[in-house]
């Protein structure tokens, strides 16, 4: 096959374009993956909507194929490709690191100074084929369905965030019940958290949180409801506050409520992306309480992937996937997510 169906961002405005493109030519250290499933991430929605983040982050890259969550089969391997073979079922670690900067050489490839993100800085996975550096290909068990395996990448975000510190026996508040937040609920449950409190604005998403193991759900919607969030969390923790606060919402209100209800000496791990700077009470909520705050990005390469592989059978990840469309129906997938009618949407070429 010389041509493939692919999904492009071609113009700097809302939307996408479906069109044929040449099948990628791989380099000596790359593999060619026949895409069997690729799922839509919040990052892809930003790119589709062409919001301020997308304009600043990928504006210089268009036109290009976007998408980054993937599962497929290796159909070609470069002469220097190692650790993966033709016929293997693989997913992708989407952070393509340089291997030679200070961060890479000190065990922190996920925050590489020269990192390129699959489907953001490079041609992505919303296509029938994608080229990938061999070391970024994670080999899956062939018994794992492709439509489930594609969601390992966001599950890995949750795993990285949850295990930023101790979790067993801890009381945890998780703000933001998108796919990664719901995965974090499942991971906390599997890891033996004592009590999991899930907070979100959407009742339908809180139902997912409950299904994945949340002990308490709190709807944080109207200003009146937001005023009650801190009291509800404190009531659920006998006035002590939580041991761990995980932020997936990218919400100033969530950040303030989470820190205010975190007990002295607690741990906050922040994955959410905030649209703009905001004020916090650093003195009272951070300094005087002696808490530890960790910023989380991506997955540790590749420690997080091994943890994710171990946890995968315990999470029931397939429950997170609410819609499956053909790649040619990609517009339907984005419509579902824009209208918040689904949780995780998978596209299958």
- Give the residue from 47, 35, 44, 38 showing the smallest Cα distance to 10: 47
Q: Give the CATH number of the domain where residue 281 resides.
A: 3.40.50.720
pTM, entire model: 0.94
Which pLDDT belongs to residue 220? 84
Q: Given this model, what pLDDT does residue 53 score? A: 84
Strand order in the sheet with 17-22: 17-22, 3-9, 64-65
Residues 144, 16, single domain; the answer is yes
CA distances from 29 to 52, 77, 105, 136 (A): 35, 8, 20, 10
The verdict on 24 and 82 lying in the same domain is yes
Rg of the chain over Cα atoms, rounded to whole angstroms, equals 20
In a domain, 127, yes or no: yes
The CA-to-CA distance between both ends of the chain, in Å, stands at 14
What is the extent of the structural domain holding 36?
Answer: 3-150+316-348
Cis peptide before 63 (omega within 30 of 0): yes
Active site residues: 43, 46
The answer to whether the CB of 237 falls within 8 A of the CB of 177 is no
Spatial distance between the Cα atoms of 345 and 214, rounded to a whole number of angstroms: 22
Measure the CA–CA gap between 50 and 73, rounded to whole angstroms.
Answer: 31
Do residue 30 and residue 106 come from a single domain? yes
Which residue has tokens 């550096």? 133
- Per the structure, the count of domains in the chain is 2
Give dist(CA 127, CA 22) in Å, integer: 10
Q: Quick one: which H or E segment has residue 63?
A: none
In this structure, what CATH number is given to the domain that contains residue 52?
3.90.180.10
Task: Indicate whether 86 and 66 sit together in one domain.
Answer: yes
Q: What is the pLDDT of residue 136?
A: 97
Whether 239 is in a domain gets the answer: yes
C-beta separation of 72 from 36 below 8 A: yes
State whether 322 and 230 are in the same domain: no
Q: Are 98 and 46 in contact (CB under 8 A)?
A: no
Residues 190, 104 share a domain: no
**pLDDT string in tens for the chain (349-residue length):** 689 999 999 999 999 999 999 999 999 999 999 999 999 998 999 999 998 889 988 989 999 999 999 999 999 999 999 999 999 999 999 999 999 999 999 999 999 999 999 999 999 999 999 999 999 999 999 999 999 999 999 999 999 999 999 999 999 999 999 999 999 999 999 999 999 999 999 999 999 999 999 999 999 866 666 778 999 999 999 999 999 999 999 999 999 999 999 999 999 999 998 888 899 999 999 999 999 999 999 999 999 999 999 999 999 999 999 999 999 999 999 999 988 889 999 999 9
For residues 178 and 100, state if they share a domain.
no
Mark whether 143 and 163 lie in a shared domain: no
Nearest to 41 by CA among 60, 54, 55: 54
Q: Is 284 inside a domain boundary?
A: yes
What is the DSSP code (8-state) at residue 279?
-
Residues paired with residue 89 on neighbouring β-strands, in sequence order? 73
Predicted pLDDT at 166: 97
Residue with tokens 């589709």: 48
pLDDT at 227: 72
Residue 308 belongs to a domain? no
Please count the residues of the chain.
349
Residue 303 lies in a domain: no
CA angle 101, 151, 340 (to 5 degrees): 115
Which tokens in the block code for residue 35? Answer: 């895409």
Q: Are residues 69 and 129 in the same domain?
A: yes
């Amino acid at each position: 096959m010389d041509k493939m169906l692919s999904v492009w961002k071609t113009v700097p405005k809302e939307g996408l374009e479906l069109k044929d493109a040449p099948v990628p030519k791989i380099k000596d250290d790359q593999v060619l993956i026949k895409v069997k499933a690729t799922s839509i991430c919040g990052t892809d929605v930003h790119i589709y909507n062409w919001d301020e983040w997308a304009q600043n982050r990928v504006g210089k890259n268009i036109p290009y194929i976007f998408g980054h969550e993937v599962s497929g089969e290796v159909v070609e391997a470069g002469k220097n490709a190692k650790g993966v073979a033709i016929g293997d079922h693989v997913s992708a670690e989407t952070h393509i690191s340089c291997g030679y900067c200070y961060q890479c050489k000190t065990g922190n490839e996920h925050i590489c100074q020269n990192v390129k993100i699959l489907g953001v800085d490079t041609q992505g996975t919303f296509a029938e084929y994608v080229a990938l550096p061999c070391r970024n290909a994670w080999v899956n068990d062939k018994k794992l369905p492709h439509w489930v395996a594609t969601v390992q990448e966001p599950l890995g975000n949750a795993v990285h965030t949850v295990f930023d510190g101790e979790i067993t026996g801890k009381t945890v508040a998780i703000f933001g019940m998108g796919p990664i937040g719901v995965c974090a609920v499942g991971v906390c449950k599997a890891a033996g958290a004592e009590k999991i409190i899930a907070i979100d604005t959407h009742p339908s998403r809180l139902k997912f949180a409950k299904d994945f193991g949340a002990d308490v759900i709190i709807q944080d919607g109207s200003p009146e409801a937001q005023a009650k969030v801190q009291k509800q969390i404190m009531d659920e923790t006998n006035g002590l506050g939580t041991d761990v606060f995980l932020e997936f919402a990218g919400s100033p209100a969530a950040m303030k409520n989470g820190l205010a209800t975190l007990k002295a000496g607690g741990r906050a791990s922040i994955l959410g992306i905030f649209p703009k700077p905001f004020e916090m009470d650093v003195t009272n909520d951070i300094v005087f309480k002696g808490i530890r705050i960790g910023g989380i990005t991506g997955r540790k390469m590749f420690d997080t992937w091994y943890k994710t592989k171990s946890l995968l059978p315990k999470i029931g990840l397939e429950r997170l996937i609410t819609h499956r469309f053909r790649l040619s129906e990609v517009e339907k997938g984005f419509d579902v997510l824009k209208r918040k009618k689904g949780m995780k949407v998978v596209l299958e070429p």
